[in-house]
Each structure stands twice: as C-alpha cells, then as structure tokens.
C-alpha cells in the first residue's frame, strides 16, 4: 500500500448522475472532491438510456456535457475502475478508508482511444454495455461516449496472444500493472452507489434467456439509441423487424413472491416513453402494454401517458401469467383480464419485460463492520427522511440518488443537491 | 527510439489461459468463417444464412451483429415483406 495519505474534503462513491451532481455541487463550493467509480467509465445507467421521460430529451446529450464538466472541474479528482472500502470514522469526525485501483492494463495517460487494439483482438465476449445483445473484444474501449474514453484489457477473457500490445501505436498497453491500494482521508462521504436492475430470469414463466425474443426494458433502451447493437430495432432471435410488441409492467416490482415489494417508480413511465419511441422507429408496429396500474404521478406524466394513447399505444389492464414460444419465435402471452377476470391469450412477436429497480447491496459493505445501516428494503437508511433526507445512520455520511430508493433522474438530481448541501454544512460545522 | 519490451511475457509467467476460453475463441472464429462463406457470393437475411450454414438463428444474429459492429458486415435494404434486412460482406 502507498504510504502517502491522500486527503479530500469529500469522497463521493458512485459516478452515476447522482454522484456527479453531488460532486459538482461540492466542487463549485470550493471543496476538494474525490469521485470513485467502480466501472471503467463513470456515467451510471443514464449514459446508456435512449431519451428521457417526460420531455423526450436525448439522454446522452444531457449526460455527456455533465460528464465533461465533472471530469474537467479543477476541484474534482476521478478514479474509475476503483473502489473505496473499509471506511471508518475517526474521533475528529473525519473519515478514512482504502482506495483500490484495479489494473486496466492500459496506461491511461498514453492511450488515445484509437481502438487499434480492439480491432486485432481475437477474443469476443458479450458486451455488457449492450446488455449481451452483441459481443465486444477482450481489448476494448467500453463504449463510444465513455469517460475516460480509453481502452482496458479484460484479463479474464484474454488469451494472452499479445496482438493488442503489438498493434498499439502509443505503446499504452502494460500487462505488468498491478492493483494499487492507497489510504485516503476525507471530511465527509456521499454514498451514490445507485441501483441494480432486477434479473427477470428468476421468474421462469416469462422465459427470459430461454426465449430469445423476450428482452428486458434496458435491452430495449439500447435498441432505441443511435449506438444500438443492431441496425434497427430487431428481434434478437432472427433479426426480424417486430410489428407487434408487448410490454409486461412491474417485472420485479411490487411482487412479494420474489421479495421485492417496492414500486420501482420509473417502469410505468419509461415503458410509456419506449412505446412512443417505438411508434416513431417502427411506424407500422403495434405496441400493447399489459399493466396493473399506470402510475403517472409526476409533473407532465399523465399528459405523457395520454399522449402515448393518442399515438396508438394500446393499454390492457391484465396480469400476465405465462409466456410461451411458438416455432416461428412469436410469443403467446396468457393473461388475466382484470376487468372481467377472464383468462385470455394474445400473440406478439417481441416481448419487453419492464424490469424494476433493486437496492445495490454494495452500499452496506463500504464501511468497516457494515456500519452503514440499510432500511427494510435494503436501501441506505434515511434516518430523518422529512427534515434531512440525505442523512444516514453515520453523522457525516450522506446518501444521494437511487442508493436510498427507487427514483427517476430529476429526483436523483434533487436528492444529490440535498446530499451536497448537508455535506457542506457538516464540513463547515466540523472546521 | 528504443523498442518497447513486450509486457505480455510477464503476464504469461503468472497466468494460464483456461482451455474453455481457448475453445470459445476458436468457436467464434469458426462461426465467423461460416457466415463469411455464406455471404461470399450473395447477400443474405439472418434466416437465410442460418439455413445455409446450419447455425442457430440466434447464433447468426449475435455473431453477424458483432461483425457489423467491427465493420466486417454491411447492411443492405429490407426484403419485399419489410421483415428482414439483407447483409453482405463489407468491402475492404
Ligand atoms: C430501463 C430504464 C429506463 C429509464 N428511463 C428513465 C427516463 O426516461 N427518465 C428518468 O428520469 N429516469 C429513467 N430511469 C431511471 C434512471 O436510470 C435513474 O433514476 C438514474 O440512473 C439514477 O442514477 P444514480 O446515480 O442514482 O444511479 P446509477 O445510474 O445506478 O449510478 C450508480 C453508479 O455508481 C457506481 N457504483 C455502484 N457501486 C459502486 C461502488 N461500490 N463503488 C464505486 N462505484 C459504484 C455504478 O457503477 C454507477 O456508475 C430509467 C431506468 C431504467 C432501468
Ligand atoms: S492479448 Fe488478450 S486482449 Fe490482447 S489481443 Fe490478445 S486476447 Fe485480446
Ligand atoms: S491501448 Fe493503444 S491501441 Fe488501444 S485504444 Fe489505447 S492507444 Fe489505441
């Protein structure tokens, strides 16, 4: 471990929209901030979305300038592919912990992002940033708008052929890199570790994985962006242009049978959004949404929902029981029509499961002795939700965004502002 | 300028490549070759390529779309029914 302690006013853990917003608020108030992101790029889930409800603004167009502002801010240091753990509170009210930087096997300052290494690499694995719909190489730049936009070697899938190192014009590949650990001290901590996506493969009756034309809503987000995995919105089985698409809402939300009682708050509205985007991308397609309730609770949401109806998206109040595949890849949905209790069947050629949000369990293990308390659902516990919504069970540690519960982007940003304000006032009090 | 000493040698001292991974890389190469062979003289839709190679449709879709990402495949127009796109080998 490096002997020199690094010191900051605040450490923000998680570089999604919430972490970035907290870091920028603190940095603009002259605080030195370390932003720690475990992925190869910061940006969180938002960087991978198509457009955002209810305005239909392009998600990447909003996120990339914010990412550049965060990366360029003189008061912010960003460590990607890193983790900050074993955090302890010291008697003077400050915090200490271990920053672990994982090796990319690429010298960050030398890599130009030219992707020559990627071109020659023979090893292909599922691209996690396209949610498995296409492959990527073991030597790869994570995605086109990654920040930093530099390569990494996925050593677990590397066959050690050395082609990337020979091809790199900048001599940036370095297989001798090792994990680095540094002790870091800070005046306060903001936890912005975000959410996990529910994995619908556990609900076997929906057939995700088994039936290739059953996809998740996150896969559909990727199909709707310009940097999409396919050349259009297509079925993953046979690349047919779908013309009769079904949405199944509340997959992994409000469902005690899978231990997830919470409403994910965003699935209704992102499904309404995707329905509208699909009508634009595939003007001949029918889109049917199977729902229990449409929760259009925010400003402009009801109008957005009505707009989708006006565009021709069909809404069926029905609980989907099972999905079965036909020989041609089409899917038979068997559902209970809630209006009259009858069981009906309908055939669609693509089914989208609107997956819910789950807590990220990593938030609980950041602190030594798991000192940070979680609530009954597994999110970071807000000890004073009404008066100080960002306060946690540890004074001086604050929570931002979906680490405290499901919420959309505007609410994540508002919650991050609150976390930064509370952190600032803690820092001022302790000085 | 000094020639860079390959660092891959260092990694090879401490790491073994699992046989399963070697086999996977080989299999991807084989599927890729099959697809390119099917597109040697004519364009094809995914079901057509699957039928002529005997590969499963989803395997063709995944591999061909990955090849498209790396500029090895190009897209032509839709078929007469507006159902399937035609794909061809990219011109080098
Ligand atoms: C399919 C889908 C569509 C959506 N569409 C919309 C929409 O149209 N409009 C809208 O308002 N909202 C939408 N949302 C919701 C939106 O994605 C979230 O509100 C937003 O991403 C929350 O941001 P966050 O920063 O809290 O979390 P995340 O985006 O989850 O970011 C968390 C970050 O923390 C990092 N991290 C996690 N653990 C650690 C750790 N231990 N150490 C360091 N880093 C860590 C992660 O890698 C990630 O970068 C959608 C969600 C889904 C699933
Ligand atoms: S050494 Fe590994 S990462 Fe580099 S080209 Fe070969 S397989 Fe790909
Ligand atoms: S590691 Fe080298 S070849 Fe790969 S993107 Fe960076 S500069 Fe280009």
Do A297 and A238 share a structural domain?
yes
Q: Which residues, including other chains, have CB under 8 Å from residue A391's CB and lie 6 or more apart?
A: A382, A383, A384, A398, A422
Residue where a domain stops, chosen among A332, A357, A382: A357
Q: Which residues, including other chains, have CB under 8 Å from residue A182's CB and lie 6 or more apart?
A: A1, A2, A4, A5, A6, A98, A99, A101
Atom of ligand 1 nearest to the CA of A363: 41
Beta-ladder partners of A79:
A36
Do A342 and A263 share a structural domain?
yes
Do A166 and A86 share a structural domain?
no
Q: Is the CB of A142 under 6 A from ligand 1?
A: no
Q: Does B25 sit within 8 Å of A124, measured CB to CB?
A: yes
Architecture of domain B42-92: Orthogonal Bundle (1.10)
How confident is the model at residue A150, as a pLDDT? 98
In this complex, the residue of B15, B58, B69 whose CB is nearest that of residue A236 is B58
Q: Which residues of A touch B (CB under 8 A)?
A: 118-119, 122-124, 133-136, 155, 157-162, 165-166, 171, 173-176, 212, 229-232, 234, 236-241, 284, 329
Domain containing A160 — which CATH number?
Answer: 3.30.70.20
Helices (H), chain B: 8-14, 19-38, 46-53, 57-69
Do A352 and A290 share a structural domain?
yes
Do A130 and A88 share a structural domain?
no
Residue B54 tokens, joined: 């005997």
How confident is the model at residue A260, as a pLDDT? 82
Do A371 and A352 share a structural domain?
no
Under a CB-based contact definition with an 8 Å cutoff, are residues A185 and A5 in contact?
A: yes
Cβ-based contacts of B64 with chain A (< 8 Å): 239
Beta-ladder partners of A36:
A13, A79
Do A156 and A62 share a structural domain?
no
The distance of A410 to chain B (nearest Cα, Å) reads 33
Residue where a domain stops, chosen among A335, A357, A379: A357
DSSP label of B17: -
Confidence at B17, pLDDT banded by 50, 70, 90:
very high
Do A234 and A224 share a structural domain?
yes
Angle, CA of B74, B76 and B77, to the nearest 5°: 155
For residue range B37-54, list pLDDT tens digits in order.
Answer: 999 999 999 999 999 999
For residue range A285-307, list pLDDT tens digits in order.
Answer: 999 999 998 888 888 999 999 99
Residue B5 has pLDDT above 90, yes or no: no
Cβ-based contacts of A159 with chain B (< 8 Å): 17, 21-22, 25
Its pTM stands at: 0.96
How confident is the model at residue B2, as a pLDDT? 63
Long-range contacts of A373-379 (CB under 8 A, 24+ apart): A377/A261, A377/A262, A377/A405, A379/A403, A379/A404, A379/A405
Q: How far apart, in whole angstroms, are the C-alpha atoms of residue B30 and residue B52? A: 15
Average pLDDT value for residue range B6-16: 96
Q: Does A122 sit within 8 Å of B61, measured CB to CB?
A: no
Instruction: Give the residue from A381, A355, A369, A212 showing the smallest Cα distance to A271.
Output: A355
In this complex, the residue of B4, B61, B69 whose CB is nearest that of residue A239 is B61
Q: How far apart, in whole angstroms, are the C-alpha atoms of residue A264 and residue A373? A: 21
Residue B36 has pLDDT above 60, yes or no: yes
> CA end-to-end span of chain A, whole Å?
29
Dihedral over Cα of B55, B59, B61, B67: its sign: negative
Do A11 and A150 share a structural domain?
no
Do A371 and A233 share a structural domain?
no
Do A352 and A207 share a structural domain?
yes
A105: left (phi over 0), alpha (psi -120 to 50) or beta: left
Under a CB-based contact definition with an 8 Å cutoff, are residues A71 and A47 in contact?
A: no
The backbone torsions φ and ψ at residue B20, rounded to the nearest 5 degrees and listed phi first, read -60, -40
Residues contacting ligand 3 via CB (< 6 Å) = A 106, 111-117, 141, 150-151, 167-168, 170, 172-173
Residue where a domain stops, chosen among A119, A146, A177: A177
Domain containing A321 — which CATH number?
Answer: 3.50.50.60
Q: A56-68 as b/e, with b when 16 or more CB fall inside 10 Å? A: eeebbebbeebbe
Whether omega for the bond prior to residue A148 falls within 30 degrees of 0, making it cis, is: yes
3-state SS class at A64: helix
- Looking from the CA of B28 toward its CB, the CA atoms found within 13 Å total 21
Cβ-based contacts of A329 with chain B (< 8 Å): 57
Concatenating the DSSP letter of every residue in A218-234 gives HHHHHHTSTT-SSSSS-
Structural domain containing residue A215: 198-357
User: Is the CB of B23 inside 8 Å of chain A's CB atoms?
Assistant: no
Note the ipTM here: 0.95
Q: Which helix (H) or strand (E) holds A117?
A: helix A116-120
In this complex, the residue of A166, A175, A229 whose CB is nearest that of residue B11 is A175
Under a CB-based contact definition with an 8 Å cutoff, are residues A337 and A344 in contact?
A: yes
Strand pairing category for A57-58 and A51-52: antiparallel
Nearest residue of chain A to residue B70 (CA atoms):
A119
CA A244 to chain CA mean position, Å:
28
Do A218 and A186 share a structural domain?
no
User: Is the CB of B28 inside 8 Å of chain A's CB atoms?
Assistant: yes
| Rounded percentage of chain B residues whose pLDDT exceeds 90 | 92
Tally Cβ neighbours within 10 Å of residue A347.
Answer: 13
Task: Name the one residue in this structure whose structure tokens are 């719909």.
Answer: A133
Average pLDDT value for residue range B20-41: 98
Low-confidence ranges of chain A (pLDDT < 70): 2-4
Tally Cβ neighbours within 10 Å of residue A16.
Answer: 27
Dihedral over Cα of A234, A235, A238, A243: its sign: negative
Number of domains in chain A: 3
How confident is the model at residue A2, as a pLDDT? 64
Average pLDDT value for residue range B78-84: 96
Under a CB-based contact definition with an 8 Å cutoff, are residues A253 and A356 in contact?
A: yes
3-state SS class at B18: coil
Instruction: Give the residue from A323, A200, A325, A190 showing the smallest Cα distance to A264.
Output: A200
């Amino acid at each position: 471990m490096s002997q020199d302690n690094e010191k900051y006013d605040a450490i923000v853990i998680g570089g999604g929209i919430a972490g970035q917003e907290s870091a920028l608020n603190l940095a603009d108030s002259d605080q030195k901030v370390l932003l720690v992101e475990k992925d190869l790029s910061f940006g969180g889930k938002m960087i991978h979305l198509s457009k955002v409800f209810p305005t239909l603004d392009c998600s990447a167009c909003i996120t990339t300038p914010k990412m550049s502002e965060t990366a360029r801010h003189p008061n912010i240091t960003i460590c990607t592919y890193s983790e900050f753990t074993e955090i302890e509170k010291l008697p003077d009210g400050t915090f200490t912990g271990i920053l672990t930087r994982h090796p990319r096997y690429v010298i960050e300052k030398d890599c130009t992002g030219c992707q020559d290494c990627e071109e020659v690499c023979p090893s292909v694995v599922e691209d996690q940033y396209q949610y498995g719909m296409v492959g990527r190489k073991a030597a790869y730049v994570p995605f086109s708008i990654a920040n930093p936009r530099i390569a990494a070697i996925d050593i677990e899938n590397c066959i050690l052929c050395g082609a990337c190192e020979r091809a790199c014009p900048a001599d940036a590949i370095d297989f001798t890199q090792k994990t680095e650990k540094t002790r870091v001290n800070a005046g306060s901590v903001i936890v912005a570790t975000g959410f996990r996506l529910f994995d619908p493969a556990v609900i076997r009756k929906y057939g995700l994985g088994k039936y290739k034309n059953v996809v998740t809503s996150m896969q559909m987000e990727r199909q709707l962006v310009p940097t999409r995995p396919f050349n259009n919105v297509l079925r993953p089985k046979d690349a047919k242009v779908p013309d009769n698409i079904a949405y199944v809402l509340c997959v992994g939300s409000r469902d005690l049978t899978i231990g997830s009682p919470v409403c994910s708050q965003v699935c209704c509205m992102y499904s309404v959004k995707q329905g509208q985007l699909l009508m634009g991308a595939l003007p001949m397609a029918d889109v049917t949404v199977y729902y229990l309730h449409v929760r259009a609770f925010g400003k402009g949401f009801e109008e957005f929902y009505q707009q989708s109806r006006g565009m021709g998206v069909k809404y069926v109040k029905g609980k989907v029981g099972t999905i079965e595949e036909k020989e041609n890849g089409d899917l038979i949905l068997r559902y209970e029509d809630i209006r009259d209790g009858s069981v009906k069947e309908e055939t669609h050629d693509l089914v989208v499961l609107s997956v819910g949000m789950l807590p990220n369990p990593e938030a609980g293990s950041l602190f030594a002795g798991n000192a940070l308390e979680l609530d009954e659902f597994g999110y970071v516990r807000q000890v004073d939700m009404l008066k100080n919504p960002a306060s946690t069970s540890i004074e001086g540690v604050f929570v931002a965004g979906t680490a405290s519960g499901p919420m959309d982007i505007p609410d994540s940003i508002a919650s991050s502002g609150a976390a930064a304000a509370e952190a600032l006032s803690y820092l001022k009090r302790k000085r | 300028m000094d020639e860079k000493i390959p660092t891959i040698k260092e990694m090879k001292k401490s790491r073994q490549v699992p046989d399963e991974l070697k086999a996977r890389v080989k299999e991807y190469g084989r599927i890729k070759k099959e697809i390119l062979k099917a597109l040697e003289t004519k364009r094809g839709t995914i079901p057509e390529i699957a039928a002529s190679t005997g590969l499963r449709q989803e395997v063709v879709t995944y591999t061909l779309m990955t090849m498209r990402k790396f500029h090895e495949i190009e897209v032509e127009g839709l078929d007469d029914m507006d159902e399937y796109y035609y794909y061809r080998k990219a011109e080098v």
